Every structure is written in C-alpha cells, then in structure tokens.
Amino acid sequence: MDLASAIKGRRFKHMDAMSIWYWASSICLAAILFRPAKKVILIQRVRRTERKLDRQLTEDERQDLEKRTIPMTVFIVVTFSFLFNSVIMNKYY
C-alpha cells in the first residue's frame, strides 16, 4: 500500500459519527437562526437608512435592502453556527 492510498483511506475512515453530527447540527443551527437574524439585521439597516435619508423608505427600497441583507445574514449565521458547534463539541466531547 502506498502513501496516497493510505491517506485516502484515512480520510474516509475519519468521517465518523461525531463529524457527521458536527456538520448536520451546524447546518440545522444555521437554518434555525437564519430568519430571526435576517429580521434583526434588516431592521437595523432600514432604521439606519431612514435616519440617513431623513424619510421613510418606500416598499421597493425595503425589498432592495432585504435582498442585499440575505448574503450577509447567510455568512454571519453559517460562520457563527460552525464556530459555536466547534467550541461546544471541543468542550464536551
């Protein structure tokens, strides 16, 4: 057996129940946190923009802000959920 096949074999053996649980729970946590986090970020952005413009936003402007909020929310929530699960799993397992 050469080194390359040994490394490949280890990579698949390493995918045990704990790593599957880590990935699954991180993705579930991100999915659960997405909607409330999006609402909080959107409210902050709308209020800041209204203060800056000194007027109420139109519905089109709100929808545009909401569309631009989604990628930022995904990045924040996914990063948080993976880091949170990493800390929890290292502490208790």
- Asked if pLDDT for residue 12 goes beyond 80, the answer is no
Which tens digit of pLDDT belongs to each residue from 25-75?
999 999 999 999 999 999 999 999 999 999 999 999 999 999 999 999 999
Domains contained in the chain, number: 1
pLDDT of 15 above 70: no
5: in domain? no
| 37 belongs to a structural domain | yes
User: What domain range is 88 assigned to?
Assistant: 21-92
pLDDT: which is higher, 1 or 26: 26
Contacts for 36-39 with beta carbons within 8 Å, 24 or more apart? 37/73, 37/76, 37/77, 38/66, 38/69, 38/70, 38/73
Rounded to whole angstroms, the Cα distance separating 54 from 6 reads 65
> Is residue 4 a part of any domain in this protein?
no
CA atoms within 13 A on the CB side of 74: 6
In a domain, 39, yes or no: yes
In a domain, 85, yes or no: yes
Quote the pLDDT of residue 17. 84
Residues near 27 by beta carbon (within 8 Å), at least 6 away in sequence: 81
For residue 70, is it within any domain?
A: yes
pTM above 0.85, yes or no: no
